[in-house]
Structure 1
Amino acid sequence: MTETLFLSSDDVAGLATPGEYVEAVREGYRQRGEGAPAEPRTKLLPNDPPGMLTTYGAVLPDTGAMGGYMYAAGFGARDAWFVTPLFDADSGELLAVIDGAHMNPYKTGAVGAVGVDALAREDASSLAIIGSGSQARGQLRAAATVRDLDTVWVYSPTKDHRESFAGEMDRELDASVAAVASAAAAIEDADIVVTATTAAEPVFDGDRLEPGTHVTAMGQYDPEKRELDATTIERATYVPDLRKRATADAGSFLQAMEEGVVDEDHVHAELGEVVAGVAEGRTTDEEITVFDSGGTGIETVAAAFLLYERARDRGLGTEVDFSPASEAF
């Protein structure tokens, strides 16, 4: 029998700062860049009722943990539930089962910030964010830990949402955060552009990107999701979280290939390869860069292990018994 720690969303709330999530996730991607195993998501898409059952995993040997996500989204309840099983990478024992609701925007924001840190100009100080939900909050909070932001412009289609977001983030961050009336206004003169949407069509015109801009896109985890247009992909040094994702479910990259403006060779490197120094990131101040963040087990395991250690040290969670297969009969 193995004693396994169950951590509720309330248990893990407040255990780590956005900056601490970023450091843990950066270390996870360094390991990936040096060969740690990780695979893109697998999705099952029932039609009645419509929904998505998703899994993905990673092994982080230096962290000493492995695991990933399984989550259901949509279906009759029109909601999502995230669960992370976390295993010991040496013994294989189940360390923890974590409710991923609280962790999700933080770990997703953290990998977005790792992309910003690896690919944006060092002097980048202005940021445009398209979207105003929990994922947008996670992206902005994390990005503010890796660049000294002076100005943030936010756009989302609903005026009340973008203004509420701007007010909340303006009070929370040192940067000046303001809502604007269009995506074009948001990206004008922005050093960094972050998209955090569920859009099926591009959310801005790639011709409007200034030279030297970095783009982090986190809503492109399905062939039908397309935050970025083909022009943006064509103009950019393109870095996905996992190379296999680019031709599997990275909607904007797939569309750019379909339009004939790029091919598979346009994938510059995986994020982990840039973080580990195996591949170059930005090489000039005029270069446009894109980090395509569709979600992997790398950030999930890295963040989950950080939370597991903090919770264990503070006596949080509930111990439950799991039987190994040898005790099944």
Structure 2
Amino acid sequence: MAGTHEREIWLRFLSGPDIDSLELTRSEIIAAIDGVMAAHGRGETVFEPRMHLMPDNGGIGHFNVLRGHVSSLGDHGVSGVKVVGDFVPNYTLGLPSELAMATLFDPTTGVPLAVMDATLITEARTGAMTAVGAKHLARPGSKILGHVGARGTAFSNVTMLDSLFDLDEIRVTSKRPESREAFAERLRAEIDTPVRVVETADEAFDDADILVEATRLTEPSPLLRTDVVKAGAFVVPYGTISAVELDLLDVMDKVVVDDWREARSGRFGALRAHVDTGRLSEETLYAQFGEIVSGQKPGRESDDERILLWHRGLSILDVALAHLILDRAQQADVGTMLRYR
């Protein structure tokens, strides 16, 4: 039986509306991601390979389980676990394709600190990673963004990139015309940069300075063709199923990944075939992104470099944003305190 003098433990529950009420800014989110990638570069993070839970549901979706620890956050560091569903047909039900929940823990006692809706975290951390990548690796004077894909993290990608660069034009497309038109309208309501809807990936990427491939294919298809990547371009392919050509890396001056162990693992990812065939290896890789953010290796060194960043979605990004949210919620006394024991 529990001891009679055992102290009470309470944790903070943060719903989606709770988190929305905190009104986190894009600059705060970008700073948190920049900070945790620098910590990764300095060896101040611990994380396990992501795991998948594949329910017996006819293949309509699966769960990803991400586990991470960041030593540089808070007084003693913070540990966290996120479970996120990936159910592409959810749009037919009026639901996001990715619904997530995160838990944070004190790594010195195991005490749970918070349970929160992590749907915003999942969207924002991916867009912020794309933006932080561009901050360090794209040409500072980049003017044209080409973005393929309109659901999930797409909105966060575009708006966060727009917050960092003085763009002249944003081109967007996706498989379904109604999807890309709705995406463009949502963007126009949020940002001032002209947004142009195009029909094909080639049109979106032609002469673009920043090329983001965020498609949700069911079968590999070369939407981001090698010959559309101009000198000086920054390329971010991160669709689950590959949408790039095998010779894409042949024209790249630098190939960067968020974490090499994660890049090598799993069955999915934009450059899975490149790893499997040896085109991307420890020898051909330029750097892990944290090495660049922490100043151990230079990022972009000339305007003409073609640079590619492949990010898989590290659990430490989720932990960093969940910690930021918890910190803000504690300051504002937002959320519901729940008795744990």
TM-score scaled by length of structure 2: 0.86
- Hey, what's the Cα distance between the residues in 2 that align with 1:234 and 1:44? 35
Alignment of 1:255-270 (within 5 A): 255-259=273-277, 261-270=279-288
Confirm or deny that 1:247 pairs with 2:254. Answer: no
Alignment of 1:188-267 (within 5 A): 188-199=206-217, 200-201=219-220, 202-220=222-240, 225-236=241-252, 237-249=254-266, 251-259=269-277, 261-267=279-285
Q: Are the equivalent residues in 2 in contact too, given 1:150–1:174 (CA < 8 A)?
A: no
Residues 306 and 165 of structure 1: CA distance in aligned 2, closer, same or farther (over 3 Å):
same
- Hey, what's the Cα distance between the residues in 2 that align with 1:164 and 1:172? 13
Residues 238 and 277 of structure 1: CA distance in aligned 2, closer, same or farther (over 3 Å):
same
- Hey, what's the Cα distance between the residues in 1 that align with 2:26 and 2:109? 30
**Cα deviation 1:248-274 (Å, max 9, x = unaligned):** 135332312444544342222211111
- Hey, what's the Cα distance between the residues in 2 that align with 1:134 and 1:256? 25
Match of 2:142, SS? coil
Letter in 1 for 2:237: A
Query: How far apart are residue 103 of structure 1 and its match?
Result: 2.7
Residues 267 and 38 of structure 1: CA distance in aligned 2, closer, same or farther (over 3 Å):
farther
Confirm or deny that 1:287 pairs with 2:305. Answer: yes
Counting aligned pairs with the same residue, the percent is: 28
**Cα deviation 1:76-107 (Å, max 9, x = unaligned):** 98954311111234544321111112332112
Q: Once structures 1 and 2 are overlaid, which stretch shifts more, 45-54 or 228-237? A: 45-54
- Hey, what's the Cα distance between the residues in 1 that align with 2:134 and 2:231? 16
Query: How far apart are residue 52 of structure 1 and its match?
Result: 2.0
Q: Are the equivalent residues in 1 in contact too, given 2:205–2:211 (CA < 8 A)?
A: yes
**Match of residue 66 from structure 1:** 79
Confirm or deny that 1:21 pairs with 2:29. Answer: yes
Query: How far apart are residue 179 of structure 1 and its match?
Result: 0.5
- Hey, what's the Cα distance between the residues in 1 that align with 2:161 and 2:89? 35
Match 2:13 to one of 3, 6, 10 = 6
**Cα deviation 1:61-81 (Å, max 9, x = unaligned):** 121222131123349989543
**Cα deviation 1:203-242 (Å, max 9, x = unaligned):** 221121101110123323xxxx113222223322221221
Match of 1:37, SS? strand
- Hey, what's the Cα distance between the residues in 2 that align with 1:176 and 1:271? 30
Match of 1:121, SS? coil
Alignment of 1:23-172 (within 5 A): 23-35=31-43, 36-50=45-59, 51-64=61-74, 65-74=78-87, 80-172=98-190
Alignment of 1:166-181 (within 5 A): 166-181=184-199
**Match of residue 4 from structure 2:** none
Query: How far apart are residue 144 of structure 1 and its match?
Result: 1.5
Report the count of equivalent residues.
319
**Which runs of 5 or more structure 1 residues have no equivalent in the other structure?**
324-329
Q: Once structures 1 and 2 are overlaid, which stretch shifts more, 240-249 or 85-94? A: 85-94
- Hey, what's the Cα distance between the residues in 2 that align with 1:298 and 1:147? 26
Q: Are the equivalent residues in 1 in contact too, given 2:207–2:228 (CA < 8 A)?
A: no
Q: Are the equivalent residues in 1 in contact too, given 2:13–2:335 (CA < 8 A)?
A: yes
Match of 1:145, SS? helix
Q: Are the equivalent residues in 2 in contact too, given 1:230–1:259 (CA < 8 A)?
A: no
- Hey, what's the Cα distance between the residues in 2 that align with 1:2 and 1:228? 50
Q: Are the equivalent residues in 2 in contact too, given 1:219–1:294 (CA < 8 A)?
A: no
- Hey, what's the Cα distance between the residues in 2 that align with 1:146 and 1:91? 39
Letter in 2 for 1:70: V
Q: Are the equivalent residues in 2 in contact too, given 1:60–1:89 (CA < 8 A)?
A: no
Q: Once structures 1 and 2 are overlaid, which stretch shifts more, 61-70 or 131-140? A: 61-70
Residues 171 and 282 of structure 1: CA distance in aligned 2, closer, same or farther (over 3 Å):
same
Query: How far apart are residue 37 of structure 1 and its match?
Result: 1.6
Q: Are the equivalent residues in 1 in contact too, given 2:29–2:128 (CA < 8 A)?
A: yes
Q: Are the equivalent residues in 2 in contact too, given 1:166–1:178 (CA < 8 A)?
A: yes
Letter in 2 for 1:21: I
